Amino acid sequence: MKDAAIILEHVSKKYRLSHQPYSSLKGILLSIFRYRRRIEVHQALNDVSLTIRHGETVGLIGVNGSGKSTLLAIIARVILPTAGKVWVNGRVAPLLQLGVGFHPDLTGLENIYFNGIILGLTRQQIAERLPAIVRFAELVEFIDTPVRAYSSGMVLRLGFAVAVHTDPEIILMDEVLAVGDEAFQHKCLRKIQEFQREGRTIVLVSHDMNQVRQVASRAIWLHQGRVMADGAAEEVVDHYLQFAEEIEKQSL
Amino acid sequence: MINELRELYRYRELLWTLVLRELRVRYKNSYLGFFWSLIVPLVTVAVLTIVFKRVMGMVIPNYSAYVLAAFLPWMYFQTALLDSSQSVLAQIQLVKKVYFPREVLPLAAVLANLIHFGLALVVFFVYLLGYVGAPLLPSVALLPVLVVFQTLLIAGLSLIISCLNVFYEDTKYIVSIGLQLMFYLVPVIYFSEQVYHAQLASPEWQRWIYLIYHLNPIAMLMTAYRKVLLPPITVQQVGVAEKQTFASLPMDWGLLAVACAASLVVFVLGYAFFNKRKWDFAEQP
């Protein structure tokens, strides 16, 4: 398929969860004396197959622990699937959460370079885009200040500004829009709409169903690592909300 | 491994940026900046010189130069391993979100320390030629070879340590204790000639002790640094009962070759180990 941006074929991901995590030597030593090691296998994704075409905006929805973030991490090539095949066709830019990849002791400018390079730009490219990044982040007068002095909103704007200027073909967003004030959210939405017009692919994880309705053309509902529904955003969101309501009733 | 190295080469700009960031961050908020990394070895060597010449009774001309010639590479070894042990864990949030060859994190810590070592060596040569007035030996040409193999050894160990530290945070404590003990098992404050004459066993065992001691690649590299940088000397120690004299031993090229080969093996094994586990980092809760 030529117009496919992301193809997942029978992708499964298992995590080994140990109830006594061996993150310390004490843990290991103690485990020797216990007869049974309690290692559970958690199936985060179970036989997921899907194709996302170039230019689509896809919302991943589902309750906590349904596998949304794992799916995003597999697309970002950060973790490897236990089984199945993944093709990603195009440059991926994950939008990072607040402050990830920033060093508080370095200035905004120095952090732009580091962030840009880690997202795959060259120094040359960053130098060219620097004015646009700084303007987009609205940090012209603070760019030589160490990031530790920034407010969380400023850090957020800077991170977003770098990521959107990496000229990505595929953009991954994991709840990044949930933080930030009204003005910032509007700015992000405008940028997303711009990306959509330019035919870029966007995959976003969100718990804000209005946002998914507003932004995404297609939604994929994951539950316990399986695809429950995949289709037009409106329908899938309605379906999911109905399900969520029922769950809530049962628990009352 | 060839593919991994190719991918690493593709990300060389990231590696270089990380090295610069490491150097910049370290001295960002201090007035003396880089000089701190010189002050530490210089003060240490000054103290060692006083203690070993005046208290322990080592009679060696320019003892401080000989200590420095081994202490600077030791500092490189020690600080690079300590820095890199935390390198992946400190960036775990980034590792969980962005694809990049994970080995750039420990390797950047090693390279930043390599640059420090290089600058410290420049200061060493200024001291040697200017203050001590010792002639530059032709064997100094071998210095880059020693630095390359020491860096391979350090990189290999760093890859293993930084990887293990993601899963078991005890690693960094073990490394720090191990380094403290190792300091006494490498010829920094004493000379390899004294190891040869160690009163541990009967004389026929001397050669074996010397051999086993130098099978530790870092110990052999330290001995080699000394012999390459400085002229041979006769070590005299004023003992309790009598004056002991240890004649200078020539460089053991066979042992040096073993140390270099071992360093290369450590690097290859360390990299293979890291590659086997590096895609599990992001799964750590």
Q: Tokens representing B213?
A: 């001691």
pLDDT given at position B206: 80
* Mutation site for B-interface testing, chosen from A22, A41, A100 by largest number of B Cβ within 10 Å: A100
Closest-approach residue (CA) in chain A for B26: A105
Closest-approach residue (CA) in chain B for A17: B285
Chain A residues within 8 A of B168 when measuring between CB atoms: 22-25, 28
Q: How far is B160 from chain A (nearest CA, A)?
A: 16
Comparing CA positions, the residue from B108, B153, B48 lying closest to residue A103 is: B108
Cβ within 8 Å of B, A 179-238: none
What span, in angstroms and rounded, lies between the C-alpha atoms of A218 and A149? 40
What span, in angstroms and rounded, lies between the C-alpha atoms of A113 and B64? 43
**DSSP state letter for B86:** T
Chain A residues within 8 A of B279 when measuring between CB atoms: 79-80
* Mutation site for A-interface testing, chosen from B97, B173, B177 by largest number of A Cβ within 10 Å: B97
Tell me which of B93 and B161 has the higher pLDDT. B161
pLDDT given at position B233: 78
Q: What is the CATH number of the domain that holds A118?
A: 3.40.50.300
Count of beta carbons in the 10 Å neighbourhood of residue A249: 8
Closest-approach residue (CA) in chain B for A112: B17
Chain B residues within 8 A of A23 when measuring between CB atoms: 167-169
pLDDT given at position A26: 66
Query: Does B25 contact A at CB distance below 8 Å?
Result: yes
What is the residue-wise DSSP string for B52-83?
IIIIS-EE-TTHHHHHHHHHHHHHHHHHHHHH
| β-bridge partners, A94 | A172
Query: Does A30 contact B at CB distance below 8 Å?
Result: no
Question: Domain ranges in chain B?
Answer: 2-283
Check CB contact under 8 Å for B94 and A21.
no
Query: Does B10 contact A at CB distance below 8 Å?
Result: no
H/E element holding A56? none
Chain B residues within 8 A of A106 when measuring between CB atoms: 21, 24-25, 28
Query: Does A28 contact B at CB distance below 8 Å?
Result: yes
Indicate the pLDDT class of residue B164, thresholds 50, 70 and 90. very high
Closest-approach residue (CA) in chain A for B281: A79
Query: Does B7 contact A at CB distance below 8 Å?
Result: no
Residues comprising chain B, all counted: 285
Tell me which of B203 and A30 has the higher pLDDT. B203
What span, in angstroms and rounded, lies between the C-alpha atoms of B172 and B180? 12
What span, in angstroms and rounded, lies between the C-alpha atoms of B194 and B56? 14
Q: How far is A246 from chain B (nearest CA, A)?
A: 31
Indicate the pLDDT class of residue B72, thresholds 50, 70 and 90. very high
Query: Does A125 contact B at CB distance below 8 Å?
Result: no
What is the residue-wise DSSP string for A98-137?
TTTT--TTSBHHHHHHHHHHHTT--HHHHHHHHHHHHHHH
pLDDT at B165 over 90: yes
Q: How far is A15 from chain B (nearest CA, A)?
A: 8
pLDDT given at position B86: 93
Give the amino acid at B175.
V
Check CB contact under 8 Å for B97 and A100.
yes
Of A166-170, B199-203, B227-231, B252-256, the range with the lowest mean pLDDT is: B199-203
**DSSP state letter for A240:** H
The percentage of residues in chain B with a pLDDT greater than 70, rounded to a whole number, is 96
Interface size, chain A vs chain B, as Cβ–Cβ contacts under 8 Å? 72
- What residue numbers bound the domain in which A13 lies? 4-251
The tens digit of pLDDT for each residue in B14-24 reads 999 999 988 88
The tens digit of pLDDT for each residue in B221-248 reads 999 999 999 888 777 766 555 566 777 8
- Look up tokens 């962005």; give the residue: B98
The tens digit of pLDDT for each residue in B78-130 reads 999 999 999 999 999 889 888 999 999 999 999 999 999 998 899 888 888 88
Check CB contact under 8 Å for B28 and A105.
yes
Q: Which of A25, A77, A122 lies nearest to residue B99, judging by beta carbons?
A: A77
Tell me the three state secondary structure of residue B260.
helix
Query: Does B95 contact A at CB distance below 8 Å?
Result: yes
Q: How far is A252 from chain B (nearest CA, A)?
A: 31
- The vertex-A58 CA angle with A213 and A81, nearest 5°, equals 140
Chain A residues within 8 A of B21 when measuring between CB atoms: 103, 106, 110, 114
The tens digit of pLDDT for each residue in B167-182 reads 988 999 999 999 999 9
Low-confidence ranges of chain A (pLDDT < 70): 1-2, 18-39, 98, 176-179
Domain count, chain A: 1
Chain A residues within 8 A of B285 when measuring between CB atoms: 21
